[in-house]
Amino acid sequence: MRVGLLTGGGDVPGLNAAIRAVVKRGEGEHGHSIVGFRNGWRGVVDGDVQPLTRGHIRNVLSVGGTLLGTARYHPHSSDGGLDAVMATLEAERIEALICIGGDGTLHAASKVAEAGVKIVAIPKTIDNDVWGTDRSIGFDSAVSIATEAVDRIHTTAESHNRVMIVEVMGRTAGWIAVTAGIAGGAELVLAPEDPFDIEKVVRFLKHRHRAHASFSIVVVAEGAVPAEGTAMHYETQVGKFGEIVAGAIGERLKAEIEARTGFDTRVTVLGHTQRGGVPTPTDRILGSRFGVAAIDAITRGESNVMTALRGEEVVLVPLSEVAGKVKHVPASLLDVARALA
Amino acid sequence: MRVGLLTGGGDVPGLNAAIRAVVKRGEGEHGHSIVGFRNGWRGVVDGDVQPLTRGHIRNVLSVGGTLLGTARYHPHSSDGGLDAVMATLEAERIEALICIGGDGTLHAASKVAEAGVKIVAIPKTIDNDVWGTDRSIGFDSAVSIATEAVDRIHTTAESHNRVMIVEVMGRTAGWIAVTAGIAGGAELVLAPEDPFDIEKVVRFLKHRHRAHASFSIVVVAEGAVPAEGTAMHYETQVGKFGEIVAGAIGERLKAEIEARTGFDTRVTVLGHTQRGGVPTPTDRILGSRFGVAAIDAITRGESNVMTALRGEEVVLVPLSEVAGKVKHVPASLLDVARALA
Amino acid sequence: MRVGLLTGGGDVPGLNAAIRAVVKRGEGEHGHSIVGFRNGWRGVVDGDVQPLTRGHIRNVLSVGGTLLGTARYHPHSSDGGLDAVMATLEAERIEALICIGGDGTLHAASKVAEAGVKIVAIPKTIDNDVWGTDRSIGFDSAVSIATEAVDRIHTTAESHNRVMIVEVMGRTAGWIAVTAGIAGGAELVLAPEDPFDIEKVVRFLKHRHRAHASFSIVVVAEGAVPAEGTAMHYETQVGKFGEIVAGAIGERLKAEIEARTGFDTRVTVLGHTQRGGVPTPTDRILGSRFGVAAIDAITRGESNVMTALRGEEVVLVPLSEVAGKVKHVPASLLDVARALA
Amino acid sequence: MRVGLLTGGGDVPGLNAAIRAVVKRGEGEHGHSIVGFRNGWRGVVDGDVQPLTRGHIRNVLSVGGTLLGTARYHPHSSDGGLDAVMATLEAERIEALICIGGDGTLHAASKVAEAGVKIVAIPKTIDNDVWGTDRSIGFDSAVSIATEAVDRIHTTAESHNRVMIVEVMGRTAGWIAVTAGIAGGAELVLAPEDPFDIEKVVRFLKHRHRAHASFSIVVVAEGAVPAEGTAMHYETQVGKFGEIVAGAIGERLKAEIEARTGFDTRVTVLGHTQRGGVPTPTDRILGSRFGVAAIDAITRGESNVMTALRGEEVVLVPLSEVAGKVKHVPASLLDVARALA
């Protein structure tokens, strides 16, 4: 078989592990030819292909990013995009396509699948908000980086009477904020799943600083919002590519806290460092398992499914069940973050 | 309530996160008094207690080891041990006991539970072989350290025509070997779950080195054994405390490979570094969640259960279902390790 | 002897190593009593002391920050400050004082020395701009963190056609920018020592992106400035404590580059993460050596000197030669940064 | 000019930074052609060359090992070796040769230089024992890895009443042992520069464990030896390639300590992990600076010199002054290790 492979959306650590696994298993055991498309769906539309053999995947397991490149482009959103996809797949004689991506890429994949292409998807996003799987590739690495940052800010915060705000990514979900907040021992975690009341936040900080502490660390998700009917009015700020504007909620929160408490308050916006660097072992293993499962599924003739982690096993779920849904942080985990503040 | 807390067996990163969570949730929200026993069951037998309040758990979240100390001692194995346990618990007016430990500690816990003590257990072991839970505290940190070592040996191995053997821990299970082997891109992983044939190992190495490669990395679990009826005879070597002797299988394998191939072969035994150091975020979160779940269970009146991770949720499983069983690496994961060699 | 000890200015990784060394050597070998002042000069003025014995310095070697606390306060700048210092030192019968700090703390130290107090100073600053020593405590850790951030941004930048700006600390010196720029393989490094011409910067980026590259990483020191007479006008923005405003030059540069090239440009401001976390071995060793050298100097009766690293040896330099001077990045190192762009 | 480049001896992190710097500066600024020899002197003898252009050095800065490969082979030690070297250099029209290596490679370089070849050497060795330079490439990374291991063993050792021995590399010098011992807070450091008395070692351990401590960490250099006339007799064990046998002194020390104290004693031999992995920023900068300095020296017509770090500057020293000498740990640093035990 000739099998296409693309990575779409923002890059994350662990993508290369998945690519490597598809090639090793696909070429080495099943005898398939693996064809890579460069820069996500863009490369399918443009016919920008590269062969992927064992020689191309040497020494990539521990390298972040994606050797195929990626882009935030969706063929169904532009005129003739889907036609160009079909034309390229036919010209390249691609019998099935593996799409590694997050929300946007998976949505595009479901559109392309509707047009008759056999697709197996692999979920990746540092935001961990893909429905149907315990984990997506990249999340563990992002949490590792965010926790390290909170650890660092801890040692420096302890010497000064300050409120330190750390703003992390996550889109409309609070996965990175909640997990890095718990792991880093933050005093307060603000996540989209639990809109905050600025007056309660301020009361907590005042109480804490009056009581005994000389500092507080607040981890805030970029998508965190105030609860309706509370004292602070704010709407999530969105950039030209639909992404949440880095630093917006962090800076606004700093202004509110300083105005209401007088405490010296500093913001650190982790930004792009969260999606770079050496993947954690967990992300390499997840990428490897998903890659093997995807090419095995294609070999068995399955299509329009997504690989998913459920407990200790990798399973397949219908793509149609996944697309368009957001997986939020469960109440039990929000509760642990609150309990340990 | 007065709730006792102990950590038993070998220390692992993440124990302090669990202790901290029990204290923060238990004292802060439920109003319990938490009493720590020093050095595992030894401290219960000897009445070696220390109070555990919020002051004792500051800045411990990111510190490896256990602030309570630990020991490999089981009260039911010595005369009068159980009686001494009961006497101490009565003297200290302990109404329930949280035991954090692996196989041995959990077995002791089930014996003490049979004597009428209310117990909630928390699984920890770098070996990840506790039955009934997806993960035990410490495993993720150990995998992280072992993978880092394989990464390092990779860069140095590539310059020399060598076979590099990396021996990792894991007792009779291959969890660390298989996961670090996949994550580190080892050429060969030898795990107890899949006894090896030395002649196949040698054939693989000869083929690989003849074909193109100038080096091979073999990750071997300390509990790996040759398959019955194959050319190599070897029994796992056990030390005075029942632990597997570090370096035994690694050195033996080196001798066999050198004798059969003539390849320069080196062994690295990771040893105690695998259980030390800063816990990964995953282990801090797991420890925190298990600690909260354990003290919540006790507060609700539950007993003789163990906290367990199942997918994204923490659940409780009966201690009696867990004790005495070993969780082995599933075939699907062994298959991924094989596929990516 | 009774010897006082304080840490002043911003905290950095490695301070605890120096404190530990002073106590271990001072108490253990010389038989001195070490008295700690809390929160820098503030604690001397307020008489806020704590004894420092071997019990206080356990397990601090690998912990960032300072166990004594710190503050940005200079006694000679406020009425009666120096008198209060003298009164406290007399009341506590302090015979000599070890001051660990950067520019501001050392300047204060020289003022207090002029008033007759025996002082030995130890240089610390992530900015590495203390005159007279090859290295100050904290610099190596900051470079390590900044390089790691550049590494991470590298893997993510490679997938998108972007200019990534990383703003690092350093005050009026470019040490962190130049070293992290070289170590991280930045395409361009902007340091205060070499004022930039925005038109040349833009020409370089356009040429590079036209030629072959799909991304560029620009590391900019917070104190970088445009050369006089060039197209961009900008003055370093200073906050209420005299510190350079984080993000100011980074955001301004982004605006200039986007306006002149149209390239999608992103800024990451490393901020406080640069001064936190586990000290590198180099900073622990430097802190340890400086601590031993300082207490040895006091024991020998020397005063009004600063410990300094010169090649492989620790020496003493007169405090008067050091105070008020800034050590800048040498031309040879700027040249290496330029050569490897 | 056509300039040859080779890396010899054991591989270390930071070699690729030096190779990259030679190519970027040499090709990009001076217009030279850089010719790489594969596997050290072996490649010169065999005429095993590869061109080195900017395309070959992309993304290598943070990668350990050497992209040229390396070997422990010295042309002057085998019949016709030097003649083959001269023949290859002539055939390839090499006008000057940059040799990156340690003791053995530099010795070979001085022999080849005597035969009339223009050579500039760059010192690399994790052992830091090259004479004439403050630092050699690789040392900082090795110390970082060894310190991390000591840190990890610290947390696990604290829970058990044990003596933990950590054996590190260093050949006949104690650089890694002394620096990682200081940085990791070891209780005892045994270095070749200061032969030990086993009875004093045992007295120290007994005193410490009687007094208060429940554990001790002993860092021992592979080349450490007992002092003459003391109770323990031992000679450094040497393998077939002249290297010191890993584990020999560690295991012997364990046997002596257990026999004399009865304390449970464990050995961890760090082995090959010490020379692998991602280079520290310090090693990347040192490699970059040495690479630039070497190609600049060749361009200026200098030869038979070695690049060397002296304080903050890179200088050139005559190769003849360096070859055959070993740089040992200075007394001042040994004294700091002793003081902080």
Final residue belonging to a domain, choices B251, B276, B301: B276
Chain B: closest CA distance from residue D267 (Å): 8
Return phi, psi of residue B225, to 5°: -140, 155
Establish if D165 belongs to a structural domain: yes
Contacts of C136 in chain D (CB under 8 A): none
Q: Report the residue from A134, A183, A288 with minimal CB separation from B336.
A: A288
- Chain Cα centroid distance, residue B70: 14
Q: Is the pLDDT of residue A42 over 80?
A: yes
Determine how β-strand B162-168 pairs with β-strand B215-221.
Answer: parallel
- Flag whether C275 is marked binding: yes
Q: Express each pLDDT in B257-303 by its tens digit.
A: 999 999 989 999 998 899 888 999 999 999 999 999 999 999 999 99
Establish if A328 belongs to a structural domain: no
pLDDT grade, residue C238 (50/70/90)?
very high
Q: Are residues D271 and D285 in the same domain?
A: no
Chain C: closest CA distance from residue D210 (Å): 17
pLDDT grade, residue B212 (50/70/90)?
low
Q: Are residues B134 and B157 in the same domain?
A: no
Q: Is the pLDDT of residue D160 over 90?
A: no
> Of A59, C334, A273, which Cα lies nearest the Cα of D16?
A59
Q: Are residues D117 and D179 in the same domain?
A: no
Q: Express each pLDDT in D244-257 by its tens digit.
A: 999 999 999 999 99
Contacts of B281 in chain A (CB under 8 A): 143-144, 147, 179-180, 183-184
Q: Express each pLDDT in D307-316 by its tens digit.
A: 999 999 999 9
Tokens (6 digits) for D63: 């990668």
Contact A312 B335 (CB under 8 A): no
Q: Is the pLDDT of residue B63 over 70?
A: yes
Q: Report the residue from A149, A164, A272 with minimal CB separation from C164.
A: A272
- Report which secondary-structure segment, H or E, holds B259: helix B248-261
Partner chains of C (3+ C-beta pairs under 8 Å): A, D
Establish if D340 belongs to a structural domain: no
Q: Is the pLDDT of residue A145 over 90?
A: yes
Q: Report the residue from B148, B153, B277 with minimal CB separation from D151.
A: B277
pLDDT grade, residue A147 (50/70/90)?
very high
Q: Which residues of A13-49 are buried (b: 16+ CB within 10 A; e: fewer)?
A: bbbbbbbbbbbbbbbeeeebbbbbbbbbbbbbbeeeb
Question: What ipTM describes this predicted complex?
Answer: 0.95
Tokens (6 digits) for A311: 């407990």
Q: Are residues B21 and B100 in the same domain?
A: yes
- Flag whether B233 is marked binding: no
Contact A11 C156 (CB under 8 A): yes
Tokens (6 digits) for B323: 């004790």
Contact A70 C159 (CB under 8 A): yes
Tokens (6 digits) for D206: 């007994």
HSE-up of D192 (CA within 13 Å, CB side)? Answer: 23
The total domain count for chain C is 2
3-state DSSP of chain A: CEEEEEECCCCCCCHHHHHHHHHHHHHHCCCCEEEEECCCHHHHHHCCEEEECHHHHCCCCCCCCCCCCCCCCCHHHCCCHHHHHHHHHHHCCCCEEEEEECHHHHHHHHHHHHCCCCEEEEEECCCCCECCCCCCECHHHHHHHHHHHHHHHHHHHCCCCEEEEEEECCCCCCHHHHHHHHHHCCCEEECCCCCECHHHHHHHHHHHHHHCCCEEEEEEECCCCECCCCCCCCCCCECCCCCECCCHHHHHHHHHHHHHHCCEEEEEECHHHHHCCCCCHHHHHHHHHHHHHHHHHHHCCCCCEEEEEECCEEEEEEHHHHCCCECCCCHHHHHHHHHCC
Task: Decide which of D334 and A10 is more confident.
Answer: D334
Chain C: closest CA distance from residue A116 (Å): 29
Mean pLDDT of B113-139: 96
Mean pLDDT of B64-87: 89
Give the range among A186-200, C65-79, C222-236, C243-257 with minimum mean pLDDT: C65-79
Alpha carbon of C261 to those of A48, A239, C264, D49, D158: distances in Å?
A: 26, 19, 9, 42, 58
Task: Decide which of B340 and C294 is more confident.
Answer: C294
* DSSP letter string, C103-142: HHHHHHHHHHHHTT--EEEEEB-TT--BTT-S--BTHHHH
Please report, for the domain that includes residue B182, its CATH number.
3.40.50.460
Alpha carbon of C249 to those of C172, C192, C220, C235: distances in Å?
A: 13, 11, 8, 9
pLDDT score of B72: 82
3-state DSSP of D110-169: HHHHHCCCCEEEEEECCCCCECCCCCCECHHHHHHHHHHHHHHHHHHHCCCCEEEEEEEC
C-beta of residue A221 within 8 angstroms of C-beta of residue A201: no
Q: Are residues D271 and D155 in the same domain?
A: yes
* DSSP letter string, B87-131: HHHHHTT--EEEEEESHHHHHHHHHHHHTT--EEEEEB-TT--BT
Single pTM value for the model: 0.94
Dihedral, D288, D292, D298, D301 alpha carbons, nearest 10? -140
Domain encompassing residue B59:
2-138+279-322
pLDDT grade, residue B159 (50/70/90)?
low
Q: Are residues C166 and C191 in the same domain?
A: yes
Contact C64 A145 (CB under 8 A): no
Q: Are residues C24 and C71 in the same domain?
A: yes
Q: Is the pLDDT of residue D159 over 70?
A: no
Establish if B69 belongs to a structural domain: yes
Q: Are residues C20 and C120 in the same domain?
A: yes
Q: Report the residue from C13, C153, C269 with minimal CB separation from A276.
A: C153
Give me the residues paired with residue A307 across strands: A316
Largest CA distance in chain B: 71
C-beta of residue B224 within 8 angstroms of C-beta of residue B244: no
Chain C residue with Cα closest to D331 = C313
Q: Is the pLDDT of residue B67 over 80?
A: yes
Give the range among B117-121, C205-209, C216-220 with minimum mean pLDDT: C205-209
- What's the burial of A234, exposed, middle or buried (CB within 10 Å: 0-12/13-18/19+)? middle
Contacts of B164 in chain D (CB under 8 A): 272
Partner chains of D (3+ C-beta pairs under 8 Å): B, C
Q: Are residues C253 and C186 in the same domain?
A: yes
Establish if A329 belongs to a structural domain: no
Q: Are residues C134 and C145 in the same domain?
A: no
Chain B residue with Cα closest to D70 = B159
**For chain B, what is the mean pLDDT?**
94
pLDDT score of D77: 83
- Chain D residues whose C-beta is within 8 A of a chain C C-beta are 20-21, 24-25, 28-29, 61-62, 134, 140, 143-144, 147, 151, 154, 179-180, 182-185, 280-282, 284-285, 288-289, 292, 310-314, 330, 332-333, 335-336, 339-340
Establish if A312 belongs to a structural domain: yes
- Flag whether A103 is marked binding: yes
Q: Are residues B84 and B155 in the same domain?
A: no
Chain A residue with Cα closest to B185 = A61
Tokens (6 digits) for C70: 């710190």
- What's the burial of A324, exposed, middle or buried (CB within 10 Å: 0-12/13-18/19+)? exposed
Establish if A335 belongs to a structural domain: no
Examine the residue annotation and report whether D335 is marked as an active-site residue of this protein.
no
Q: Report the residue from B151, B281, B289 with minimal CB separation from A336.
A: B289
Please report, for the domain that includes residue C298, its CATH number.
3.40.50.450
Contact A280 B280 (CB under 8 A): yes
Q: Is the pLDDT of residue D259 over 80?
A: yes
Establish if D269 belongs to a structural domain: yes
Q: Express each pLDDT in B170-194 by its tens digit.
A: 999 999 999 999 999 999 999 999 9
pLDDT grade, residue D212 (50/70/90)?
low
d(CA D221, CA D270): 11
Chain C residue with Cα closest to D128 = C312
Q: Are residues D128 and D180 in the same domain?
A: no
